[in-house]
């Protein structure tokens, strides 16, 4: 049985765990002190001391509210908005005699709006609650008594419990690994949920507990763990375990973190150390930064502006009212006799006019509150949620291969997608597939591999060969494809060279070097083989796609790694003498792990003959300086090939080895073990120092070259985004040469574009680096970067008069350190934003975040960051919009993003279609809200003026209350969800449409104020036309004149008709839903008038049967309504017709193309698109435009 075989393995030395028996040096001296006070009694969770310590239970809660806090906390959130708080105050004042309307009619709309928002909050929180319930009720085996393990829910676990976790299960808490199905307590862990990495990590329990492999072993097991207090550091753990009267040091290797998954191990036993919110993963879970769109922030300023107008109107009206009231009673003569100033309340008492002014001001503030759209916030939230659903359901952004649709993780930023000025993109896994293919190699100074990369094809285009000899290149590509198609496609392997494949390498001049080269690839790694029992095929779990590609390449070329033993590796190798496959076994002594500072990885193995070898692979910048004098035989040729590979956009590694004698290895092993045993902050430094001394005097074998292919559609997507006027920066950790060539492949760079390269690889800096004077290096580097930035700015200034010259800026990570300093960052930013494209190479995650912050704060424009890995999280959270690619590097970038997509190419549709639509819809929606409320509010104000500021509303109380809720809001919501100025096809055909959002032309102060002016004009026409038309003459056949009730109902009817028909005029794309809401709102007004008017007079007041008895039978009502509505709409209609015909905006030009049928005229369409075909931008279209311009200039010069 495979399970039995596993238990006999001892994998202790795979990561040098044999020398990981941590000692009590360094940090362990702090146990029991501050920050290290946690005590856990293993297998005794009911112990009294645990109860006293009051450790957290294992249930987790991600909800915003609880049952007890939902109402108070949710209400607080709602009334933090100034508009909602204002309506709360006016609603409270409505219970006083100051109110111009009844309290119920004032409070009910507020309750409806606040209630709707709270219901939405409650639904969202309930979804989070259900997720929490699902997690908390997961099942795990826990030790109950006498070696019996029973299933229990995660939430019931307590500190000290012993649990048994089985293969492919998640760890329910932070556990101390005691033992596993392997004899030496090793287990494999997948930490994708923690750090986004898909590779497996190896953990190992203490040797003293490794024998506890059966359930019954825990009958009498007791141990005491003393360790650090809960903290967020995923990669540290300091503690000790007292077991059988002996103390043993604990390290991170014994800690299994909650939400990690057990892989390739049948089971493990562990003791619960941290539970619930004390676990490291929960300690790490911070709330994402609160992001609000620019439109929403501006909307708040517009509302403040309306408040200023409201207060001004109330103040000015109250002053007028005070003067009029003071003069009401003079010498016994009463001007406004109907108010009885000789016997009035304080509100109209001429003798107390100052108090009357104050009270009138409060009344006016309540009455004019209808200027503020009470339903605006909740309507926008509803619209944004529906827009997000449309984004999630877009079939054109669904990636079928991975079954991944687009996912808007927040709806707050929909309209921000239509205003992006600059995109900051990661390269690996974002622009490229992060699916590495072994394609070329250099061995013993000879280049092998005949494949052609995407970058090489792009280089051919740069040289002009594709445009001139396009047919020949296509035939060549077909030949290459044909040669590859002859053999089955193997993921990670795209190598073709008859000199190497099928064992032909044995006939090469340096066959011994080739053998060592592929043997190194087969042995120098941390991959885990998985053998298919049915077919015998071997697959690999590797730390990275690169490493998997190397092991697969070795396998395909005759060096198959197929088994990892207790302290050994086994391979099937082609014997050059016999020509047959033979099994070879290598004793694995040590693994010197890869990290970003070492930039290399080594293993030390002993072969079957007893020889000890150090096998090393690493970056060329590190490896060449570590070669021995007698190991540089192939250095010149290899370096030449490495540069060629980098030019072709390939990722390269140098392979080298050395043989160690027994004494040298023994000395190293002692030092290495000592460094590994010290658990302190200096441990990593000590390990690196020891490793550094052994990884010298290496003998060069050659170099590998793997291709990370561009994702499908990346060049076309970048081309469209560039045509839309969006700037694109690439922030990558790759070498400058690789990044530049990827830039050419996706048309971010092109032939003829002047490159401003800022780097520190100058002889002066290199000389200082050899001396090691850090102060001198920093000073010289700072001066060098400043000089290069100044020279770049001078170049741009010199070409300022030439509109045809494009520049690109390329800067490396070392230079970026100084360019981001406070005294230099503004100069750097000014230079960067004047360039067509920017590429930052060798960037660290922190630098990516700092560059994002600089661009966001320095430009004040909307910045979008897109990435796929854990190293992109800072950049995504810093940007205005973070887009996560759900690729192969785990889900951490997606979990930190605002919107997740599966492929970079979907960014084109997300921005140019959904972004443009959402921006236009939200902008138009908000403008229309202000229009309809100003139209309504100003009719109230004008009636106030007409009635000498008496504080009497023109309309019935319930007419006032329901205007924003039922008679005008639903068509606006339909506009926000369904309206389209142009279809998605036209959005993509004319990318420059997107600039309307970037320049914010649809939500500028000019446009907002023009809609407000339209509202004022509408109010003036409605009020004066209605009052003058029915003021004096008889209203019905019986000769009665119109009273306040008839005038109010007539004006209200005109307002409802006007604001809804205004919406119909503003809509570009009618759907059945919009028709339903527009005509339904008007129809509902008449229905309401009938039903409300039929209610008893004490409830319907002056609306009692007003429609049936007064309005409907009167021709004057219908005639006035018709002519007033038409008259009110004429100004907007006239302005709109003139503007669209003679001064059209860009989207209106596109609409004319569609309506006139010119869409099939390519010359006319090109003429409209020409503004986006600028030769100073990037992309394939700009490249062609620049080339055409160059040819025209050349022809002119020849003449």
Q: What is the mean pLDDT of each run of 10 residues along the chain (1199 residues)?
A: 38 41 48 73 74 78 83 85 82 82 81 85 82 88 90 92 92 94 84 63 87 87 90 81 87 88 90 90 67 85 90 88 74 64 66 80 85 85 91 92 86 90 86 83 93 69 45 41 51 88 90 94 88 80 81 92 82 85 90 77 92 92 89 92 81 92 91 73 74 92 88 86 90 78 78 84 76 80 91 86 76 89 92 91 84 92 87 85 76 77 92 94 94 93 85 86 88 92 88 90 93 95 92 69 85 96 91 93 94 89 87 90 96 92 83 69 56 57 65 64
CA distance 359 to 364: 9
Q: At which residue do the structure tokens 């659903």 appear?
A: 389
Q: At which residue do the structure tokens 């997690």 appear?
A: 135
User: Parallel, antiparallel, or unpaired: how do β-strands 267-274 and 162-166 relate?
Assistant: antiparallel
Question: Does the annotation flag 120 for ligand binding?
Answer: no
What are 608's two structure tokens? Answer: 């079957």
What are 433's two structure tokens? Answer: 């597939």
pLDDT at residue 747, rounded to an integer: 77
Question: Does the annotation flag 594 for ligand binding?
Answer: yes
DSSP string across 361-373: HHHHHHHGGGGS-
Taken as a whole, the chain contains a residue count of: 1199
CA distance 1084 to 1091: 10
Give the CATH H-level superfamily of domain 434-463+489-660+697-708. Answer: Calcium-transporting ATPase, cytoplasmic domain N (3.40.1110.10)
Q: At which residue do the structure tokens 């080339």 appear?
A: 1187
Third-level CATH fold of 407-431+713-901: Rossmann fold (3.40.50)
Q: 408, 128, 155: which is closest to 258 by C-alpha? A: 155
Question: Does the annotation flag 343 for ligand binding?
Answer: no
Question: Does the annotation flag 868 for ligand binding?
Answer: yes
CA distance 29 to 27: 5
**H/E element, 701:** strand 699-710
Any bridge partners for residue 706, and if so which?
438, 651
CA distance 1074 to 301: 29
Question: Does the annotation flag 516 for ligand binding?
Answer: no
Q: Are 618 and 600 in contact (CB under 8 A)?
A: yes
User: Parallel, antiparallel, or unpaired: how do β-strands 807-811 and 446-448 relate?
Assistant: unpaired
Any bridge partners for residue 202, and if so which?
188
pLDDT at residue 344, rounded to an integer: 67
Question: Does the annotation flag 734 for ligand binding?
Answer: yes
Question: Does the annotation flag 871 for ligand binding?
Answer: yes
User: Parallel, antiparallel, or unpaired: how do β-strands 727-731 and 420-425 relate?
Assistant: parallel
Which residues are within 8 A (CB) of 327 and not within 5 positions of it... i.e. 6 or more apart? 335, 350
Q: 629, 638, 628, 631: which is closest to 696 by C-alpha? A: 628
CA-CA distances (angstroms) from residue 163 to 152, 166, 200? 10, 10, 22
Question: Does the annotation flag 1156 for ligand binding?
Answer: no
CA distance 504 to 495: 14
170-202 burial string, b = 16+ CB within 10 Å, else e?
bbbbbbbbbbbbbbbbbbbbbbbbbbbbbbbbb
With H, G, I as helix, E, B as strand and everything else as coil, classify residue 1134.
Answer: helix
CA distance 250 to 22: 7
Question: Does the annotation flag 611 for ligand binding?
Answer: no
CA distance 234 to 69: 32
CA-CA distances (angstroms) from residue 534 to 530, 538, 561? 12, 11, 18
Question: Does the annotation flag 848 for ligand binding?
Answer: yes
Instruction: Map 728-782 to HEC letters.
Output: EEEECCCCHHHHHHHHHHCCCCCCCCEEEEECCCCHHHHHHHHHCCHHHHHHHHH
DSSP string across 463-531: TTHHHHSHHHHHHHHHHHHHHHHTS--BTTB----TTTGGGGGGGSTTHHHHHHHHHHHHHSS--EEEE
Q: How far apart are the first and last CA of the chain?
A: 85
Query: From the candidates 426, 546, 620, 812, which is the catalytic residue?
Result: 426
437-470 burial string, b = 16+ CB within 10 Å, else e?
bbbbbbbbbbbbbebbbbbbbbbbbbeeebeeee
Which residues are within 8 A (CB) of 949 and not within 5 positions of it... i.e. 6 or more apart? 317, 318, 320, 321, 324, 360, 364
CA distance 1005 to 995: 17
pLDDT at residue 16, rounded to an integer: 39
Q: 889, 1049, 1023, 1079: which is closest to 426 by C-alpha? A: 889
Is residue 426 annotated as a catalytic residue, yes or no? yes
Any bridge partners for residue 528, and if so which?
541
pLDDT at residue 26, rounded to an integer: 44
pLDDT at residue 481, rounded to an integer: 43
What are 983's two structure tokens? Answer: 């279809």
With H, G, I as helix, E, B as strand and everything else as coil, classify residue 178.
Answer: strand
Which CATH number is 157-284 given? 2.70.150.10
Domain boundaries, the chain: 59-138, 157-284, 290-372, 407-431+713-901, 434-463+489-660+697-708, 918-1155
Q: At which residue do the structure tokens 């040469």 appear?
A: 737
């Amino acid at each position: 049985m495979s399970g039995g075989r596993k238990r006999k393995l001892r994998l202790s030395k795979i990561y040098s765990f044999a020398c990981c028996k941590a000692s009590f040096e360094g940090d362990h001296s702090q146990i029991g002190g501050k920050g290290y006070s946690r005590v856990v009694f293993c297998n005794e969770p009911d112990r009294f001391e645990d109860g006293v310590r009051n450790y957290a239970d294992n249930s987790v809660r991600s909800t915003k509210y609880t049952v007890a806090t939902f109402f108070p906390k949710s209400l607080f959130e709602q009334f933090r908005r100034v508009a909602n708080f204002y309506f709360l105050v006016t609603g409270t004042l409505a219970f006083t005699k100051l109110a111009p309307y009844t309290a119920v009619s004032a409070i009910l709309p507020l309750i409806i709006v606040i209630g709707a928002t709270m219901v939405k909050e409650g639904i969202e929180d309930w979804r989070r609650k259900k997720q929490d319930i699902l997690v908390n009720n997961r099942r795990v085996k826990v030790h109950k008594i006498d070696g019996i393990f029973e299933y229990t829910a995660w939430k019931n676990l307590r500190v000290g419990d012993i649990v048994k976790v089985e293969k492919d299960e998640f760890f329910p808490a932070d556990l101390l690994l005691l033992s596993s199905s392997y004899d030496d307590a090793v287990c494999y862990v997948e930490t994708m949920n923690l750090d986004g990495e898909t590779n497996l990590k190896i953990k190992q329990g203490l040797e003293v507990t490794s024998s506890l492999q059966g359930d019954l072993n825990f009958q009498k097991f007791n141990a005491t763990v003393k360790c650090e207090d809960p903290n967020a550091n995923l990669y540290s753990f300091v503690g000790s375990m007292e077991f059988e009267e002996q103390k043993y040091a604990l390290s991170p290797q014994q800690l299994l973190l909650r939400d990690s998954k057990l892989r390739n191990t049948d089971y493990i036993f562990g003791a619960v150390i941290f539970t619930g919110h004390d676990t490291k993963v929960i300690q790490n879970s911070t709330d994402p930064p609160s992001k609000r769109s620019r439109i929403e922030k501006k909307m708040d300023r517009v509302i403040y502006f309306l408040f200023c107008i409201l207060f001004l109107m109330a103040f000015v009206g109250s002053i007028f009212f005070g003067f009029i009231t003071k003069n009401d009673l003079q010498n016994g003569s009463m001007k406004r006799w109907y108010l009885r100033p000789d016997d009035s309340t304080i509100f109209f008492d001429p003798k107390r006019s100052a108090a009357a002014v104050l009270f009138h001001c409060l009344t006016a503030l309540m009455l004019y509150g209808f200027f503020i759209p009470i339903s605006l916030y909740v309507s926008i939230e509803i619209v944004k949620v529906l827009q997000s659903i449309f984004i999630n359901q877009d079939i054109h952004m669904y990636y079928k291969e991975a079954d991944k649709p687009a996912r808007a993780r927040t709806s707050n930023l929909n309209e921000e997608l239509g205003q992006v000025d600059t995109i900051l993109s990661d390269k690996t896994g974002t622009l490229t597939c992060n699916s590495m293919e072994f394609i070329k190699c250099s061995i013993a100074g000879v280049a092998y591999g005949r494949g052609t990369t995407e970058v090489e094809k792009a280089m051919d285009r740069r040289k002009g060969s594709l445009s001139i000899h396009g047919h020949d290149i296509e035939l060549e590509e077909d030949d290459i494809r044909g040669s590859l198609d002859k053999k089955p496609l193997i993921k990670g392997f795209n190598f073709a060279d008859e000199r190497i494949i099928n064992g032909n390498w044995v006939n090469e001049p340096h066959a011994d070097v080739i053998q060592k080269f592929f043997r190194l690839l087969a042995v120098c790694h941390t991959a885990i083989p998985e053998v298919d029992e049915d077919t015998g095929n071997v697959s690999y779990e590797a730390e990275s796609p690169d490493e998997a590609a190397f092991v697969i390449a070795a396998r395909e070329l005759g060096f198959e790694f197929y088994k990892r033993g207790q302290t050994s590796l086994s391979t099937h190798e082609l014997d050059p003498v016999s020509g047959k496959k033979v099994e070879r076994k290598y004793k694995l002594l040590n693994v010197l792990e890869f990290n970003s500072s070492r930039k290399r990885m080594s293993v030390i193995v002993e072969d079957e003959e007893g020889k000890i070898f150090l096998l090393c692979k690493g970056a060329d910048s590190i490896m060449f300086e570590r070669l021995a004098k007698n190991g540089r035989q192939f250095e010149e040729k290899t370096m030449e090939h490495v540069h060629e590979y980098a030019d072709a956009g390939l990722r390269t590694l140098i392979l080298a080895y050395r043989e160690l004698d027994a004494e040298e290895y023994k000395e190293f092993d002692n030092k290495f073990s000592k460094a590994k045993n010290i658990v302190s902050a200096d441990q990593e430094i000590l390990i690196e120092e020891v490793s550094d001394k052994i990884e010298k005097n290496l003998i060069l074998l050659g170099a590998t070259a793997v291709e990370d292919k561009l994702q499908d559609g990346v060049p076309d997507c970048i081309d469209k985004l560039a045509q839309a006027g969006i700037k694109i920066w690439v922030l990558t950790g790759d070498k400058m040469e690789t990044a530049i060539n990827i830039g050419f492949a996706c048309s971010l760079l092109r032939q003829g574009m002047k490159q401003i390269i800022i780097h520190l690889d100058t002889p002066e800096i290199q000389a200082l680096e050899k001396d090691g004077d850090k102060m001198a290096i920093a000073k010289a580097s700072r001066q060098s970067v400043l000089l290069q930035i100044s020279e770049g700015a001078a170049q741009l200034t010199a070409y300022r008069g030439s509109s045809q010259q494009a520049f690109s800026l390329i800067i490396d990570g070392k230079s970026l350190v100084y360019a981001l300093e406070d005294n230099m960052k503004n100069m750097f930013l000014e230079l960067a934003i004047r360039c067509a494209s920017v590429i930052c190479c060798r960037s660290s995650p922190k630098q990516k975040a700092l560059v994002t912050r600089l661009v966001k704060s320095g430009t004040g424009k909307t910045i979008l960051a897109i990435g796929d890995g854990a190293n992109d999280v800072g950049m995504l959270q810093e940007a205005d919009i973070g887009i996560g690619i759900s690729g192969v590097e785990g889900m951490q970038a997606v979990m930190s993003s605002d919107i997740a997509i599966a492929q970079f190419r979907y960014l084109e549709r997300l921005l140019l279609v959904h972004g443009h639509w959402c921006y236009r819809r939200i902008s138009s929606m908000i403008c229309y809200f202000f229009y309809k409320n100003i139209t309504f509010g100003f009719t109230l104000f004008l009636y106030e003026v007409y009635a000498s500021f008496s504080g009497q509303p023109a309309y019935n109380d319930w007419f006032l209350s329901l205007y924003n809720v039922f008679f005008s809001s639903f068509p606006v919501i339909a506009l926000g969800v369904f309206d389209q100025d142009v279809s998605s096809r036209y959005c993509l055909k004319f990318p420059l449409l997107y600039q309307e959002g970037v320049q914010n032309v649809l939500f500028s102060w000019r446009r907002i104020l023009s809609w407000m002016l339209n509202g004022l004009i509408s109010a003036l026409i409605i009020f004066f036309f209605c009052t003058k038309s029915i003021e004096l003459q008889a209203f019905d056949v019986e000769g009665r004149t119109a009273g306040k009730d008839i005038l109010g109902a007539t004006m209200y009817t005109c307002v409802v008709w006007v604001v809804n028909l205004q919406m119909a005029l503003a809509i570009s794309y009618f759907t059945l839903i919009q028709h339903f809401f527009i005509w339904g709102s008007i129809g509902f007004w008449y229905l309401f008038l009938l039903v409300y008017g039929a209610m008893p007079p004490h409830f319907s007041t002056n609306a009692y049967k007003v429609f049936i008895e007064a309005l409907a039978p009167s021709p004057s009502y219908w005639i006035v309504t018709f002519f007033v509505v038409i008259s009110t709409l004429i100004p907007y209609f006239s302005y709109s017709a003139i503007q669209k015909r003679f001064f059209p905006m860009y989207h209106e030009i596109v609409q004319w193309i569609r309506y006139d049928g010119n869409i099939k005229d390519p010359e006319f369409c090109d003429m409209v698109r020409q503004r986006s075909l600028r030769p100073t931008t990037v992309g394939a279209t700009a490249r062609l435009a620049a080339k055409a311009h160059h040819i025209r200039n050349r022809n002119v010069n020849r003449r």
